[in-house]
Structure 1
Amino acid sequence: MSESAEYLPADSGAVQQALIEWYEDDHRDFPWRRTDDAYEILVSEVMSQQTQLDRVVSAWEDFLDTWPTPEDLAAADRADVVGFWTDHSLGYNNRAKYLHEAARQVVEEYDGEFPRDPEGLQELMGVGPYTANAVASFAFDNGDAVVDTNVKRVLYRAFDVPDDDSAFERVARDLMPEGESRVWNNAIMELGGVACEKTPSCDAAGCPWRQWCHAYETGDFTAPDVPTQPEFEGSRRQMRGRVISILKDAAELEIDDLGPRVRVDYVPDSDGEGSREWLLGLLEDLEDDGLVELVDDGGNTVARLRR
């Protein structure tokens, strides 16, 4: 693990063991996690590309009831496959076409047997690097480390890995126990899905990496897909809240009477924040959101809550 030594803890074996034990002790029970059939796993991966996993379950089961094997799917009318995709709201219909074509390739070019490694699986229609690696991992335990958005978030927070694809790939590869891609990739994606989400649940989910986690130690849970939250004090969010709070207690207020209550440094004819123009922009945003009403009262703008 020398290439990633600057990021990973010295006791990386304990890090690996902690995650695997956490996953094996309790994880979400999706049906495709109970099979090592490459066809069934490919169907789940293609369906999951644009659909929440909980919604995929029934579609996956219905699909396999209709076309239980790649031979069944290859023999199906493509219009029926596309129709199924549409009826189950599974996203872009071209994925159904690619899945149908991939089944035909497996039957006609591979004698019904799926390739067993990521490189071979990428020869199938519509199967890109991520899907190929997932099928190789979960069907044949023969994949590389998965690096998706969730995994990047986990590595960024836990080990302070920089937001750089090559660094993420290197650390993910070095951290994965050799020959255990099936359990490892399931485990680290589960970690990102239930404990290290955009809003983390470190303690509630019993995150197994808390003792090593940089984010848990510092309280900084930003990540590549979780930007730093702007300071609340003095922010536009705070000013919007003040406007709503003030107007709750007042039937209506002219804009220049409202301004000093929102900001003590309100100067109507100034430029920038704290000006009449600034406050009017804030009120117009609230009006667009259906929260505030602006009316003209003899040339004066009056603000009131929308009832």
Structure 2
Amino acid sequence: MTDPDETVVSGLADGDDPSLPADPEAVRDALREWYETDHREFPWRRTTDPYEILVSEVMSQQTQLDRVVPAWEDFLERWPTAADLAAADQSDVVAFWSDHSLGYNNRATYLHEAATQVETEYGGAFPDSPDELRELMGVGPYTANAVASFAFNNGDAVVDTNVKRVLHRAFDVPDDDDAFERVASHVMPAGESRIWNNAIMELGGVACGKKPRCDEAGCPWREWCHAYQTGDFTAPDVPTQPSFEGSRRQFRGRIVRLLGEHDEMDLDALGHRIRVDYTPDGEHGREWLRGLLSDLADDGLVRIEERDDQITARLR
């Protein structure tokens, strides 16, 4: 019978085989010991509640973790269970999201709808596999796998930007999504997705960032690491985020915050409140503002009403 590890390695052969270590169990033991000895403390790492983990995963999308912690704690204090969130007014959830500067507000609506699905379609019990979790509103492959891993220890190997950087440097994995998936699956020990995915993401976040800290962070993979041995610490490019200041995202957030404070606002009153250079017929005038409101309406966040030649907006 062929060893399953050997089967995975042979599946990588296309002339670009990564330099996988001969003893994968030693690699696994080293990372697990490093993580268990010392790692960053985040409150969602101390729970296996799938609702609490889903909230943390959605909040963490493109938001710094030190900002997520107080928002996550406040959110769970207000809506401690999926049932509480499902029963909440969606506009309150969106207003919370905007007040805590958690990024795109449609994530709040998706989270609210996912909680509603759990209550109405799953009898209040979260599904526990990545495929089933993907049926929840707004839950993509990465988030589904993370919840399955951290809540149920039932996930596949997580492959995010940090993990790709680690695998590329450590094992010379080519910059190819299929190769990353196969190697990540090969090195993860069976049945240990909870600790393993936390550990390898921690390695990428603490020791193997864009600027590596191999010795300072005591990287456990130095003896096997291709980059450490060659001094070549290049890694796959990471797309830069567009500037938030002056972006449509910034003005969309301002609109949601203002509408959260008022029952409704007419177009010009809203325009003057969100930017000082608003002029009804100018470059940043009614047409520009209608475009922002249309985007928010498409996301299910805002309702636009026209009556008596007046245009008003309100949160849904």
TM interval, short-chain normalised: 0.7 to 0.9
Is the aligned partner of 1:4 residue 2:16? no
User: Structure 1 CA distance, aligned partners of 2:62 and 2:215?
Assistant: 29
SS of residue in 1 equivalent to 2:157: coil
User: How far apart, in 2, do the equivalents of 1:225 and 1:36 lie?
Assistant: 33
- Indicate the RMSD between aligned Cα atoms, in angstroms: 1.1
Instruction: Kindly provide the CA deviation profile for residues 260-282 of structure 1, in whole angstroms up to 9, marking residues without a partner as x.
Output: xxxxxxxxxxxxxxxxxxxxxxx
Alpha-carbon distance, 1:225 to partner? 2.2
Match of 1:89 among 101, 114, 130: 101
Is residue 2:46 matched to residue 1:41? no
Amino acid at match of 1:183: I
Distance in structure 1 (CA, Å) of the matches to 2:116 and 2:9: 42
Q: What's the secondary structure of 2:174's corresponding residue?
A: coil
**TM-fit CA distance, 1:122:** 0.3
Q: For the pair shown, which has the larger CA radius of gyration, 1 or 2?
A: 1
CA distance in 2, matches of 1:166, 1:57: 33
Which AA in structure 1 matches 2:181? E
Report deviation, 1:226. 6.7
Report Cα offsets for 1:133-155 as digits up to 9, x if no partner.
00000000000000011100000
Report the equivalent of 1:121: 133
Q: Partner amino acid for 2:71? A: A
Q: Tell me which residue corresponds to 2:110.
A: 98
Selected match of 1:145 from 142, 146, 157: 157
Amino acid at match of 2:70: S
Whether 1:60 and 2:65 are equivalent positions in the alignment is no
Unaligned regions of 5+ residues in structure 1, if any? 228-307
Matched-pair contact (CA < 8 Å) for 1:149–1:225: no
Is 1:205 aligned to residue 217 of structure 2? yes
**What CA distance in whole angstroms lies between the structure 2 residues aligned with 1:110 and 1:168?**
33
CA distance in 2 between counterparts of 1:37 and 1:204 reads 34
Q: In structure 2, give the amino acid aligned to 1:132.
A: A
Question: Does the aligned pair in 1 maintain the 2:161–2:238 contact within 8 Å?
Answer: no
Of 2, 25, 29, the residue aligned with 1:13 is 25
Query: 1:153–1:225: 8 Å Cα contact kept in structure 2?
Result: no
SS at match of 1:150: helix
> For residue 170 of structure 1, what is the aligned residue in structure 2?
182
Give the alignment's TM-score, normalised by structure 1.
0.73
Using CA pairs under 8 Å that are at least 6 residues apart, name the structure with larger relative contact order, 1 or 2. Answer: 2
C-alpha deviations, 1:135-179, integer Å up to 9, x for none? 000000000000011100000000000011000000000110000
- Which amino acid in 1 is paired with 2:9? S
Partners of 1:179 and 1:46 lie apart in 2 by 24
Quickly say closer, same or farther: Cα 1:226–1:70, change in 2 above 3 A. Answer: closer
Structure 1 position 4, deviation (Å): 2.4
Ranges in structure 2 where 5+ consecutive residues have no aligned partner:
11-16, 240-316
Give the distance between the partners of 1:105 and 1:131, measured in 2 at CA: 16
Q: Secondary structure at the match of 1:208?
A: coil
Q: Distance in 2 between matches of 1:141 and 1:167?
A: 23
What is the alpha-carbon distance in structure 1 between the residues aligned to residue 157 and residue 172 of structure 2? Answer: 18
- The Cα offsets for residues 77-125 of structure 1, whole Å up to 9 and x where unpaired, read as 0000000000000000000000000000000110100000000000000
Letter in structure 1 aligned against 2:195: V
Contact 2:157 2:193 in 1 (8 A): yes
Aligned length: 227
DSSP-derived class of the 1:202 partner: coil
What residue number does 1:305 align with?
Answer: none
For 1:56 and 1:87, how far apart are their aligned partners in 2? Answer: 13
Q: Take 2:72 and 2:89, find their aligned partners in 1: how far apart are those partners? A: 18
Q: Per-residue deviation at 1:11? A: 0.8
TM-aligned CA deviation for residue 54 of structure 1:
0.9
Looking at structure 1, the residues matched to 148 and 116 of structure 2 have their Cα atoms a distance apart, in angstroms, of 19
